[in-house]
Amino acid sequence: MITVQNLQKHFKLNKQYRGAWGSVRTLFSREYEVVKAVDDISFEVARGELVGYLGPNGAGKSTTIKMLTGLLVPSGGELAVNGRLPWRDRQAYVARIGAVFGQRTTLWWDLPVIESLELLQHIYHVPNGRFRQNLADFETMLELKPFLNTPVRSLSLGQRMRADLCAALLHDPDLLFLDEPTIGLDVVAKERIRQFIRHVNRERGTTVLLTTHDLSDVQKLCDRVLIIDRGKLLYDGSLDALQTRFGGRRELVVDLAEPYSDVSVAGATVVARENGRVTYQFTREEIGASELIGRLSQRFRIQDLAVREPDIEATVRRIYEERLLEN
Amino acid sequence: MNHALTIYWRLLGVQLRSQLQYRLAFFFDVVAMSSTIFLEFASLALVFQRFETLGGWTLGEVAFLYGLEELSFGIMDMVFSGFDPSYFGQEIRRGSFDQLLLRPLNLTMQVFGSKFVLRRLGKIGMGLAVFLYAQTLITVTWTPAKLLYLPFVVFGMVCFFGGLFIAGATITFWTVESIEVMNIFTYGGGYLIAHPMHIYQTWLRRLFTYVVPAIFLNYYPALYFLNKPDPFNFPAIAPFVAPLVGILALLASLAFWHFGIRFYQSTGN
C-alpha cells in the first residue's frame, strides 16, 4: 500500500533576522543551512497493517507524515501510496486517506459535532446511506451520542479526539494517519481509543500508520514498528524483538518462607535482598522464567513470586539516548 | 468547481451562524466599525469648514470619492477575510493551512470559506452612507450609462484590493509573519484613492499611476461620474479601465498565490 524508496527531504533554513525590517531581510536573504529532516528512508507497508512510527522529537517523523499525506513534496527518492504520488493530484489523493493530528482538530470550532460531520459528508461526497451507516457504527463505538449536538469548542479533549476520529473515517479511507491520538488523555479514554483503532484496522481493513510518543499505544496496537532518528530509519520490526535485543533483563521477585544464608541460583543474579524478599535478574536467552522458578523451588520454600518484564518505555529511551541502533 | 462552490456557501453559512451566535458582541462590533469610518470622514469634513475645497473639489465631491472607496474596500475586506495577511499568517503558524490541504477541495475556495468577517457590514454601511450623503451635497447628473458602470467600479476596487490581500497572504508562506510593508499598499492605497489624486506630489501620483495603477480605480471613474475635466490628459478611455485593472491585479496575485502554494509544499514550515 505504501512504498517508500530512498526518501529524502532536505530543508534550506534561511538565516532569520530580527528587528523591524527583519522579516523583509529574511525574505531576500541568500544565506541558509541545509537540514536533512528525512535522509534516505525506505520501507513498505502492506494493506491492512497497523504500523507504529516512532522516534524522538525532531527525528523526522512529522516530515515523513507530511510527505505521505501530500502536504510536502520530497526532495529525493520515491514515495507512492496505492501507486499514487500523494502531492501530484492532491485532491484525488486526500479523498482516499484519513488523518487525525492529535493537537489540532479538523472540525469547525463553533459548529455542533453532527453539523461538522455532515459538512464533511458533503466535502467527501459520502452517499447518504453510507454516511448513516458509518455514523451509527462510530456513534456506538466512540460513544458520541452525548455530545453530538455540542459545539466543538465546548468538548473535552477526549471527546474532541473521538469526534475527530469519527470525522477522519466517515469517507471509508483506505489509509489512516494518526498522530498522537491519545495525547493528554486519561487511561480510560486512551483505552477506548485504542480499542477503536484496533477495530477499524481489523474489521474495516483500514491500513493505519500511528505516530506516537506513548509506547503503550504501540505495544497494544502495533505488530510492527519503524524507528527513525535524525532522518534515518533505524529499525523495522516487531517491538518484542526490539525488547529481546535491547530490553536488558527481566526480574523475578521472590518472597522466601524461611531465612536462607545463600540465595544464589544458576542462570540469574541477585540484585537486591531485604528481609525475605530477593530480586533476581535474568535474560531470556539464558533461562526461561519457569525453569528459573523450578530451580528456585527445588532449593527454597517460596511464599510468593512475581516476574517483572523490563519496561519498554525505558528500553526505547535507552535506544534513543545511547543510539543503540546506529552502527 | 460546482462542488467547491456549493461547499463555499455551506462554509459561509457556518461563518455567519457562528458570528451571529453572540448578537450583542456582533452589534457592538458593527457600531465600532462604522464609528471609525464616521470619525475619519467627520475629521475630513471639518477641514472643509475652513478651506471649503480640497484641490478644487468640494466636500460633496470628496465624499463621493471617499464613500465609494470605503464601500468597496469594506466589501473586499469581508469577502477576502480569509486572505487578510495578518489572519492568514496566523493560520500558517498554527498549521491550520495544512488542514485545508488535507481536504479534497479547491484550496483557494477553502481559504475564501475559512473566514468571513460579517461585522465589516459596519464599514460597508458607513461607506454607503457617506456616498449617499454626497448626493445631497452635489447634484450628480446620473445617466443610465453611469448607473450601469457604477457597480463595475466597485467590482474593480474589490478585485484590486482583494488581489493585494492575496499577495500579502502569499508572502507569509515565506515570512510566516505578515509584513507591515503590505499595509502601505492595502490600507495606505485605500486611503490614497479616497482623496482627489491630483493633490498629491508628482512622484507619489506617478507611483500610483504607472507602478500600482490605483488612480484608474476610483479617481478616474469619479471624474467621469462628476463630469470633471482630466487634469492629466489621459486618453478618454481612462475612466473605464477600472474593472480591467482590478481583474488583472487579481489574476496576477492568484498566479503568485499558486506559486506560493507550490513553494509551501516544497518547504513546509
| Same-domain pairing of A226 and A125 | yes
Do the domain assignments include residue A19?
no
Is A24–B177 a contact, with Cβ atoms under 8 angstroms apart? no
| Same-domain pairing of A163 and A110 | yes
CB of B47 within 8 Å of any CB in chain A? Answer: no
| Same-domain pairing of A136 and A199 | yes
| Nearest in space to A117 (alpha carbons), one of A173, A164, A179 | A164
| Same-domain pairing of A277 and A147 | no
| Nearest in space to A167 (alpha carbons), one of B7, B10, B102, B134 | B102
| Same-domain pairing of A57 and A170 | yes
| Same-domain pairing of A56 and A118 | yes
| Same-domain pairing of A255 and A269 | yes
CATH classification at residue A99? 3.40.50.300
How many structural domains comprise chain B? 1
| Same-domain pairing of A206 and A256 | no
| 3-class SS string, chain B | CHHHHHHHHHHHHHHHHHHHCCHHHHHHHHHHHHHHHHHHHHHHHHHHHHHCCECCECHHHHHHHHHHHHHHHHHHHHHCHHHCHHHHHHHHHHCHHHHHHCCCCCHHHHHHHHCCCHHHHHHHHHHHHHHHHHHHHCCCCCCHHHHHHHHHHHHHHHHHHHHHHHHHHHHHHHHCCCCCHHHHHHHHHHHHHCCCHHHCCHHHHHHHHHHCCHHHCCHHHHHHHCCCCCCCCCCCCHHHCHHHHHHHHHHHHHHHHHHHHHHHHHHCC
ipTM attached to this prediction: 0.83
* Per-residue pLDDT tens over the stretch B211-265: 889 999 999 999 999 999 999 999 999 999 999 999 999 999 999 999 999 999 8
- Among the residue ranges A308-312, B61-65, B93-97, the one predicted with the least confidence is A308-312
Do the domain assignments include residue A99?
yes
For residue A261, the model assigns a pLDDT of 84
* Per-residue pLDDT tens over the stretch B163-185: 999 999 999 998 877 678 888 88
Which residues does chain A have with pLDDT short of 50? none
**What domain range is A201 assigned to?**
47-71+85-243
- Report how far residue A31's alpha carbon sits from residue A14's, in angstroms, rounded to the nearest whole number: 6
For residue A239, the model assigns a pLDDT of 82
What cell was used for B112?
475564501
* Per-residue pLDDT tens over the stretch B104-121: 999 999 999 999 999 899
The residue-averaged pLDDT of B152-166 equals 97
How much is the pTM? 0.85
How many structural domains comprise chain A? 2
Is B265–A24 a contact, with Cβ atoms under 8 angstroms apart? no
Contacts of A109 in chain B (CB under 8 A): 18
CB of B206 within 8 Å of any CB in chain A? Answer: no
Do the domain assignments include residue A25?
no
Which is higher by pLDDT, B203 or A315?
B203
For residue A16, the model assigns a pLDDT of 67
- Report how far residue B266's alpha carbon sits from residue A74's, in angstroms, rounded to the nearest whole number: 7
Do the domain assignments include residue A281?
yes
| Same-domain pairing of A182 and A99 | yes
For residue B69, the model assigns a pLDDT of 96
The residue-averaged pLDDT of B122-146 equals 94
Q: Which of A27, A87, A92 sits opposite B175 (nearest CB)?
A: A27
| Same-domain pairing of A53 and A189 | yes
Is A71–B103 a contact, with Cβ atoms under 8 angstroms apart? no
* Per-residue pLDDT tens over the stretch A119-132: 999 999 999 999 99
| Same-domain pairing of A134 and A235 | yes
Please, what is the average pLDDT of chain B?
91
Nearest chain A residue to B22 by CA: give it.
Answer: A110
CB of A26 within 8 Å of any CB in chain B? Answer: yes
**What domain range is B149 assigned to?**
2-267
Which of A187, A218, A243 marks a domain boundary? A243
Do the domain assignments include residue A278?
yes
Q: Which amino acid is at B113?
A: G
- Report how far residue B261's alpha carbon sits from residue B251's, in angstroms, rounded to the nearest whole number: 15
Contacts of B17 in chain A (CB under 8 A): 110-111
| Same-domain pairing of A281 and A170 | no
